[in-house]
Amino acid sequence: MKVGRFWKAWQCATMCSLAFLATCRVGQAFAEAPTSGYQVVQKFPHSTSSYTEGFFYLDGLFYEGTGMNGQSAVMAIPPSTGKPIQKHDLPAQYFGEGIVDWGPNLYEWTWQSHVCFVYDRFSMRPIKQFPYTGEGWGMTHDKTSIITSDGTATLRFRDPSTFKETRHIVVHDGAKQIDQLNELEYVKGEILSNVWHDDRIARISPKDGHVIGWIDLHGILPDAQRVNAESVLNGIAYDAAKDRLFVTGKQWPAIFEIKVVPSR
């Protein structure tokens, strides 16, 4: 009887331990990534007529791609003035989306027209174009690939010479897929992504798509300074030489240099 009681007690303890471990694993699977806050370091001018879809910083200039049919363009802009020194307008039938630099070239793709334009970055002269399937949203790059978003939870890695997909990742925070991924920036081995109609930026692992953390930018631009409900956070740029991070949005009056800080 004593042996039987001991065996039953051992079985019960083991089952409880296994159940506890399983519960921990489930909890981990559903746990949300940590959230950081921000400090504004300085502000730069930004045109409220620019419906920002693509954004990056290179060699002392902001490069910006804007959307809306008949208003889409790609521009090179000195931070101090906010006024373009170079500009290439898209034909009115195209709704411009994300932009990215690759060597001496600049890529700009379109929302639903399935055309990616390639320009000489210094003259903005069109060189060639690529077709693709699906929608075009954001673009960035790592050392070997152009990385794109299409409004879903999937980020696609593309061969810059063909624009063909080579692999993809599905972005998730714990067990939850994160869709509406928009403008992108590659920073220190992570993909930073705007989420459409969300004042947070996701920090994404390029290896498996898990969200490493969030940057909460609520309050950075008061609602009263937004043109309308579509004037959302959408624009991330990084100055690798000086380790500076910039953010802006569609028709926002400013570009903000920010420092990421722990949330209080």
Residues 6+ apart with CB under 8 A from 89: 72, 73
Which CATH number is 35-262 given? 2.120.10.30
Report d(CA 31, CA 176) in Å as an integer: 9
pLDDT confidence of residue 25: 41
* Whether pLDDT at 166 is above 90: yes
pLDDT digits (tens, 9 = 90+) for 167-186: 999 999 999 999 999 999 99
Report d(CA 160, CA 4) in Å as an integer: 69
Phi, psi angle pair for 113, to nearest 5°:
-90, -10
pLDDT confidence of residue 28: 43
pLDDT confidence of residue 264: 62
pLDDT confidence of residue 22: 41
pLDDT digits (tens, 9 = 90+) for 86-111: 999 999 999 999 999 999 999 999 99
Confidence of residue 130 (pLDDT cuts 50, 70, 90): very high
* Whether pLDDT at 247 is above 60: yes
Average pLDDT score, the chain: 90
pLDDT confidence of residue 13: 45
Percent of the chain surpassing pLDDT 90: 86
pLDDT confidence of residue 18: 42
HEC string of the chain? CHHHHHHHHHHHHHHHHHHHHHHHHHHHHHCCCCEEEEEEEEEEECCCCCCEEEEEEECCEEEEEECCCCCCEEEEECCCCCCCCEEEECCCCCCEEEEEEECCEEEEEECCCCEEEEEECCCCCEEEEEECCCCCCCEEECCCCEEEECCCCEEEEECCCCCCEEEEEECEECCEECCCEEEEEEECCEEEEEECCEEEEEEECCCCCEEEEEEECCCCCCHHHCCCCCCCEEEEEEECCCCEEEEEECCCCEEEEEEEEECC
pLDDT confidence of residue 32: 84
Q: What mean pLDDT do residues 223-232 have? A: 93
pLDDT digits (tens, 9 = 90+) for 63-85: 999 999 999 999 999 999 999 99
pLDDT confidence of residue 31: 63
* Whether pLDDT at 210 is above 60: yes
pLDDT digits (tens, 9 = 90+) for 14-54: 444 444 444 444 444 456 899 999 999 999 999 999 999 99
pLDDT confidence of residue 5: 41
Domain residue ranges in the chain: 1-31, 35-262
pTM of this structure: 0.87
Q: Give the residue, 47 or 4, on which the prediction is more confident.
A: 47
* Whether pLDDT at 260 is above 90: yes
